[in-house]
Amino acid sequence: MRRGAYLAGAAFAVLALIVASGVTHASVVKQSIPDLIRQADVVVHGRVTDTTSFWQGTTIVTEVTIDVKTTIFGSPGNQVIVTLPGGIVGDIGLEVSDTPEFQRGKESVVFLGNGRNGDFQVLGAVQGKVDVVGGNVPAWNLPLDEFIARVAAGGIGLEEHAAKPPGTPGGGGGGKGDKGDEACYLLCKIDWKRNGEQDNDGIYSPKLEDDQGGNWSINNNSQDWPNDDAALVAELGDSAKVWTDNAGARWSLGALNATVTHDSRLTNASFDGRNVVSFGYTGNAVAVTANWFYRNARKHTIETDFLFNDIDNDFGINVPESNSEFDLKNVAVHEFGHWICLGDQYNDSDFDHVMYGFVEVGETKNWTLHQCDMDGAQAVYGTP
């Protein structure tokens, strides 16, 4: 439901927090078409006729209107409204990593779950939007009619037709970010330098400071760590240092505010003047990163937040490979890559990268940067 709470230019206004209804993504679990079908309330082929961004409390969301051309599953009617996190309103923009992009006039097949307000959410992050171009589905190397028939049959026999994984250019969802020349990393569309100045050590860091000092802070509203702030400070501090100490880039997250807050309402990407790691509902993503920017100065990030989704997932420390938990540090290092403004990569060949967009329980590979991750960080912030 649209809310008329426009805050044009009212930077850092603190309002009552409203939980975002949009699905947001960053680290996601890899899902097949049959997986998506099983979760979907509605699957349609349609064309985007409108996109509208607006403030929803202290966050920005975008509603996408899709005219339904073919109903594959469900009873959506002639039109569906899809709500996504992020967008630009007035002078302020919000980009949430790995959220599928919809442009007016473009067609796609979308796998949707019911939202909270009669709207829909895209399932599986970028995996839930499959681009249709000229009557064909490039990601699956099939004519649209045949792709629709196979989806309607439960996705049988699709895998052998996969041409490009979702999230890659031409693949489903359309990867975010601009690829540098022959680079093995992706950049987000905003950024280069944060609004921070070089500090005394010649290191760029976010300029924002908490009211109690520090450049970033932790809000422990987690179900998994209710009484253990110290563990969060240690693990998240270590996660940031993986980049600061090893990327070879002129970037530092700066000082972590040692005072952990416990605001149970901070469950979405909130434009509040603080860089905060928190816990909350993120749709079906394991964690999400939100970068705020000025519309007319897109190479400067104003504020960055990330959220762990511990409603749908369990997080642990030093989890063994057989565990059913996500390793907190493994996920956090990836999300801090988004703070640097690196984009998700989905090719199987990117598996060893921290910025590989899929994550699994028990995985700890992100404790160590890949050379491509270092190259990306250096491309954004330069070398010392």
- Tell me which residues touch Zn ion (CB under 5 A): 26, 97-98, 344, 357
On the CB side of 58, how many CA atoms lie within 13 Å of its CA?
20
* Contact by Cβ (8 Å): 256, 240: yes
Residue reference for tokens 């540090």: 329
| CB of 14 closer than 8 Å to CB of 58 | yes
Q: Which is nearer to Zn ion, 137 or 355 (CB)?
A: 355
Three-state SS for 56-82 is: ECCEEEEEEEEEEEEEEECCCCCEEEE
Shortest distance in whole angstroms from residue 113 CB to Zn ion = 20
* Cβ 285 to Zn ion shortest distance, Å: 8
Q: How many CA atoms lie within 13 Å of 226's alpha carbon, on the beta-carbon side?
A: 2
**Residue 56 vs 97, nearer CB to Zn ion:** 97
Q: Which is nearer to Zn ion, 98 or 363 (CB)?
A: 98
* Min separation Cβ 26 and Zn ion, Å: 4
Minimum CB–partner distance for residue 344 and Zn ion (Å): 4
CB nearer to Zn ion: give 18 or 377: 377
Closer CB to Zn ion, 164 or 338, in the complex: 338
Question: What is the residue-wise DSSP string for 191-219?
Answer: -SS-SPPB-TTS-B------TTS-SBEEB
- Contact of 302 with 294, CB cutoff 8 Å: yes
Residue 357 or 376 with smaller CB distance to Zn ion:
357
Q: How far is the C-alpha of 10 from the C-alpha of 62, rounded, in Å? A: 19
When computed from its CA atoms, the radius of gyration of the chain, rounded to whole angstroms, is: 20
Minimum distance between the CB of residue 256 and Zn ion, rounded to whole angstroms? 21
* Angstrom distance (rounded) from CA 100 to CA 338: 16
At residue 54, φ and ψ (nearest 5 deg) are -160, 160
Specify the residue, 26 or 66, whose C-beta has the smaller distance to Zn ion.
Answer: 26
Is-contact 205 194, C-beta < 8 A? yes
Nearest residue relative to Zn ion (C-beta): 26
Q: For the CB of residue 275, give the shortest distance to Zn ion in the complex, in Å.
A: 17
Non-local CB neighbours of 143 within 8 Å, separated by 6+ positions:
135, 136, 137
Smallest gap from Cβ 239 to Zn ion, in A, equals 14
**Residues 6 or more apart in contact with residue 180 via CB below 8 angstroms:** 187, 379
Distances (CA, A) of 195 to 169, 173, 209, 242, 298: 30, 30, 12, 22, 11
- Taking the C-alpha atoms of residue 321 and residue 99, their distance in angstroms, rounded to an integer, is 28
* Shortest separation between residue 176's beta carbon and Zn ion, angstroms: 10
| Residue nearer to Zn ion on the CB measure, 96 or 148 | 96
* Least distance (Å) between residue 369 CB and Zn ion: 15
- Nearest CB to Zn ion, comparing residues 147 and 315: 315
